Structure 1
Amino acid sequence: MVKLASLKQGRDGQLMVVSRDLSRAITADGIAPTLQAALDYWAETEPALQALYQQLNQGNCADSFAFNQADCASPLPRAYQWADGSAYVNHVELVRKARGAEIPASFWTDPLMYQGMSDDFIGPCEDICLADEAWGIDFEGEIAIITGDVPMGTPAERAAPHIKLLMLVNDVSLRNLIPGELAKGFGFFQSKPASSFSPVAITPDELGDAWQDTRVHHRLRVHLNGELFGEPDAGTDMTFNFAQLLAHVSFSRTLCAGSIIGSGTVSNVNRSTGSCCLAERRMLEILEQGEARTPFMKFGDRVRIEMLDQQGQSIFGAIDQQVTKYEAL
């Protein structure tokens, strides 16, 4: 068991071990300078990180300091690979239904996946800087795994041990740019700017019984401008678990340690739990009222994405970001 974060420093951050209650932290440079370095030699570094974590939780680290989420970069400030799926097929079906289209039967048996930009992630408390509100700025609350080295052709039944860490995601989407890009038949690019991740990444065993069948069985809470927007259960209605997503990504390629795979927008069939993105709410409005009434994000809007345990304690810390206008240099 261990919780890890990256202090903002250079391009790849400085590795920290964070206490279970997210109150204290200690740098782990005696074990590995960065999270990527720790993942590269995980068999050697994980036991040492776990020992330091235990000492920190027991209050036996004289060099510990108060943990400040705003000082964190994303756990991996940049990564060799970021692949995002759409594991909640209910979400995909809803979006298609709003425009009168049925989903192909294969969507229920073969995961959707796109490869996003991974060279410069946004910090969990940093602004989302974009040039134009007309692009249709949206947040997407998700969960992601970080892998170790994964052989090509790894089947789902042998994928779980390759899942080293978990974290939350805000996969920013520019909805009004997506249709034109998809019409080209070559996938997302401009419509998918930099994503951000929770301040803290955790080993799956930190979740206890909430980690089952490589799914996270907790609610993902999203607030927009201080008001609860949605809190669907991430373990419910997840058509493809993380082992299946990992098998899909490694089908024809090996993955290096530090590869990130996202779940796609968390979504429940039970609409009373709310949504984790604006597009889903807008689609529900179209189906129920004939038109979308909820606007996309404007400059100054703030989104907060967080997951709490049964005692109400934050597990990963919070992604807490404001949308601001980007001014070109």
Structure 2
Amino acid sequence: MGRNYAAHAAELDNPVPEEPLLFIKPATAAVPMAEPIRLPRGRGGCHFEGELALLIGDPLSGANPADIPGAIAGLGLALDLTLRELQGQLKKQGHPWEKAKGFDGACPLSPFVKLDWQPDWDNLTYSLWLNGELRQRGKTGHMLTPILDLVAYISSHFTLLPGDVVLTGTPAGVGELLSGDRLVLQLEDDWLRVETQVA
């Protein structure tokens, strides 16, 4: 999901979409977040975007928001790595973003917290620190399209299958990654904490 937080759209001088803005990363983009992040060489600056990730556990097609909670198997965190200059060029040309967001390793994923209870979907908080500095704090209550509505919307356009991962958008505070940078991502206060480093 792109531009699901108004403040992030504003920081990149992007308009707020009137409906959810979707793009897809291939399976080869997904890598364990605990492994070192390897930035593409010679392709411009690579930005981090911390996001709440949903692990789909049951098929969803044309679902209603009420159908969604039971189909989410786990909660995790993700980095939507983005080649920002390339993305800007693609946007100017009216082209899709996948070359800027779907490269190998472009989606580091944390482990997933198994959902054997129903969280308050509109009151979840996650954070990202870069080299010890808090850079992003996302609150699901600030999303333009709430989680359950977002997953239902996606399922109205294409079927979600078990093992699919939905990234729900990034809050403000994104920035460029450099070799040696250390990142810490945390879900709530104690549900999940993961550390990674740029190679």
Bigger fraction of residues in strand? 2
Q: Name the residue aligned to 1:150.
A: 59
Matched, 1:298 2:178: yes
Q: Name the residue aligned to 2:198.
A: 323
Q: TM-score, structure 1 length as denominator?
A: 0.54
The answer (yes or no) to whether the contact 1:138–1:174 under 8 Å persists in 2 is yes
Corresponding residue SS for 1:149: coil
Matched, 1:90 2:2: no
Q: Name the residue aligned to 1:69.
A: none
Mark the CA change 1:204 to 1:264 in structure 2 (over 3 Å): closer, same or farther.
farther
Name which of 124, 134, 152 aligns with 1:217.
124
Q: In structure 1, how many angstroms separate the alpha carbons of the residues matched to 2:127 and 2:42?
A: 24
Corresponding residue SS for 2:156: coil
Deviation at 1:252, TM superposition (A): 3.0
Runs of 4+ in 1 over 4 A off after TM superposition: none
In the alignment, residue 168 of structure 2 is paired with which amino acid? S
- Equivalent residue pairs, number: 196
Q: Name the residue aligned to 1:235.
A: 140
Q: Name the residue aligned to 2:84.
A: 175
In the alignment, structure 2 segments of 5+ residues that lack a partner are: none
Give matches, 1:49-128, under 5 Å.
84-96=1-13, 103=15, 107-108=17-18, 110-128=19-37
Q: Name the residue aligned to 1:266.
A: 171
Bigger fraction of residues in helix? 1
Q: In structure 2, how many angstroms separate the alpha carbons of the residues matched to 1:321 and 1:93?
A: 28
Deviations 1:231-270 (A, max 9, x none): x242331121121111111113322111111111034xxx
- Answer 1 or 2: higher relative contact order, Cα 8 Å, separation at least 6: 2
Provide the alpha-carbon RMSD of the alignment: 2.3
Q: Name the residue aligned to 1:191.
A: 100
In the alignment, residue 224 of structure 1 is paired with which amino acid? L
Deviation at 1:229, TM superposition (A): 2.3
> Which protein is bigger by CA-based radius of gyration?
1
Q: In structure 2, how many angstroms separate the alpha carbons of the residues matched to 1:133 and 1:226?
A: 27
Name which of 92, 115, 137 aligns with 1:203.
115
Deviation at 1:133, TM superposition (A): 6.7
Q: In structure 2, how many angstroms separate the alpha carbons of the residues matched to 1:204 and 1:122?
A: 25
Mark the CA change 1:255 to 1:200 in structure 2 (over 3 Å): closer, same or farther.
closer
